[in-house]
C-alpha cells in the first residue's frame, strides 16, 4: 500500500491562538463549496474543534482533515515534494518518523486511522539539524537517504522562513 505526505510551513502558535479564541468568523473567510458535501462536513468539524466540542460519535479522522483545511487556509498550499507521494509502507524510519508520527499540536480526538498529523517547532528542527546534519545514513537504503536529505532541506527552508512544519500523512 502506498502513502503520501503533505507538508505545510506554518506558525503553529498562530494556529493554536485562532482555535483557542473560538472565533468562528474565520470559517466565513474560508472557501467551502456549497455543492460539496465534504466541504460542509469539514466546516462542521472545524466548528466543533474550535468550540472544544468534538462529538464522540464522529469519525476521528474527519477532524484531522478539517484541521488540514484550516492550515491550508491560514498558511497556503502544502510544500510540493514529489518524493513523498506514493511511498510504500515501511519506508519511514528514524528521522522521517520523527515528524510524520509526532502527533498533532492541536488537541484532536484519538485517531487510529489516517491521516496522521505531525508537527515540529522551529527550535526542534534547528536542534535536529545540528545533531543529525553530519551523520551518515549508510545503514539506510539510497531511497531513505534521499528522503532524509529532502526532509533536511525542508527543515532548512522552514528555519529560513522562521516557520514550524505540520505534516499530514495519508
Which phi and psi (to 5°) does residue 102 adopt? -85, -15
Residue 1 has pLDDT above 60, yes or no: no
Residue 148 Cα distances to 34, 84, 131, 140, 145, angstroms = 40, 11, 14, 10, 5
Residue 2 has pLDDT above 80, yes or no: no
Domain positions in the chain are 2-169
CA distance 43 to 49: 10
Q: Is 166 exposed, middle or buried (0-12, 13-18, 19+ CB in 10 A)?
A: buried
Q: Is 28 exposed, middle or buried (0-12, 13-18, 19+ CB in 10 A)?
A: exposed
What 8-state DSSP symbol labels residue 78? P
pLDDT band at 92 (very low <50, low <70, confident <90, very high): low
Please list, in sequence order, all residues whose beta carbon lies within 8 angstroms of the beta carbon of residue 143, skipping any fewer than 6 positions away.
91
The reply to whether the predicted model has a pTM over 0.85 is: yes
pLDDT, tens digit, 9 for 90 and up, residues 40-79 = 788 888 888 888 887 778 888 888 988 998 999 999 999 9
pLDDT band at 90 (very low <50, low <70, confident <90, very high): low
Burial 37-50 (b: 16+ CB within 10 A, else e): eeeebbbbbbebbb
Amino acid at each position: 500500500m502506498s502513502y503520501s505526505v503533505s507538508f505545510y510551513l506554518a506558525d503553529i502558535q498562530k494556529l493554536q491562538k485562532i482555535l483557542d479564541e473560538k472565533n468562528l468568523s474565520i470559517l466565513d473567510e474560508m472557501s467551502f463549496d456549497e455543492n460539496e458535501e465534504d466541504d460542509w462536513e469539514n466546516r462542521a468539524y472545524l466548528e466543533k474543534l474550535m468550540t472544544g466540542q468534538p462529538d464522540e460519535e464522529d469519525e476521528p479522522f474527519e477532524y484531522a482533515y478539517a484541521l488540514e483545511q484550516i492550515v491550508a487556509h491560514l498558511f497556503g498550499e502544502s510544500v510540493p515534494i514529489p518524493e513523498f507521494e506514493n511511498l510504500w509502507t515501511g519506508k519511514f524510519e528514524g528521522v522521517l518518523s520523527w515528524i510524520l508520527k509526532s502527533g498533532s499540536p492541536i488537541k484532536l480526538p484519538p485517531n487510529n486511522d489516517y491521516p496522521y498529523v505531525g508537527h515540529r517547532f522551529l527550535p526542534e528542527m534547528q536542534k535536529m539539524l545540528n545533531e543529525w546534519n553530519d551523520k551518515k545514513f549508510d545503514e539506510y537504503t539510497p531511497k531513505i537517504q534521499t528522503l532524509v536529505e529532502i526532509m533536511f532541506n525542508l527543515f532548512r527552508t522552514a528555519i529560513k522562513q522562521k516557520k514550524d512544519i505540520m505534516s499530514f500523512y495519508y
